[in-house]
Structure 1
């Protein structure tokens, strides 16, 4: 299933994961992910919900949020501020991706 993509730029063709963090449960999600943050230039995140649900918030001028459930993957582009909000029991994992030439 394709990741949910609500903001651009899209993941470059041929992009590859260069680092994966998690899995994290509700009590082990790093504090930095719960506050406003961005990804560096050339990095995209693939937030995967393995179990439960979590609310993903866009902190840019367009705003908005989405409840992500087990099986969902959200594409997070570089430089777009965002944060996570715990919603009970959840397990997540994040893969950081870059264009093959940048990895």
Structure 2
């Protein structure tokens, strides 16, 4: 999995979601705009992060966050009870 570039700065953060409040859009393939990176931060539980191209599945937890690259299709899936949020960087 990629790392956030050193030259990006956080500018927005989602509310915290749990397994029952995850927006449908996050559960299906979606993407950020050009130049926008994301960081998926799991506070508790586990979240399956799937990147479409190149295909990769990563199990995220409180010790491992996910990096969303600009314009890359991806989705998440709760693996039981989970609490998480997404930070956006430019």
**Fold similarity call, TM over 0.5:** yes
1:101 aligns with none
Contact 1:56 1:68 in 2 (8 A): yes
- Does residue 17 (structure 1) correspond to residue 19 (structure 2)? The answer is no
Higher-Rg member (1/2): 1
Residue of 32, 35, 52 corresponding to 1:39:
32
Q: CA deviation at 1:13?
A: 2.4
- Listed as ranges, the matches of 1:80-99 within 5 Å are 80-98=72-90
So what's the TM-score if we normalise by structure 1? 0.80
In the alignment, the residues of structure 2 paired with residue 26 and residue 17 of structure 1 have an alpha-carbon distance, to the nearest angstrom, of 25
What stretches of structure 2 of length at least 5 have no aligned partner?
A: none
- Size of the alignment, in residue pairs? 90
Deviations 1:4-38 (CA, angstroms, capped at 9, x unpaired)? xx14xx53323211110021111011110000011
Q: Distance in 1 between matches of 2:40 and 2:61?
A: 11
- Structure 1 runs of 4+ aligned residues shifted over 6 Å read none
Give distance in 2, aligned partners of 1:85 and 1:91: 12
Once residues 23 and 73 of structure 1 are traced to their aligned partners in structure 2, the CA distance between those partners, rounded to angstroms, is: 14
SS at match of 1:33: helix
Q: CA deviation at 1:70?
A: 2.0
Instruction: Give the unaligned 5+ runs of structure 1.
Output: 1-5, 99-103
For the aligned residue pairs, the C-alpha RMSD in angstroms reads: 1.3
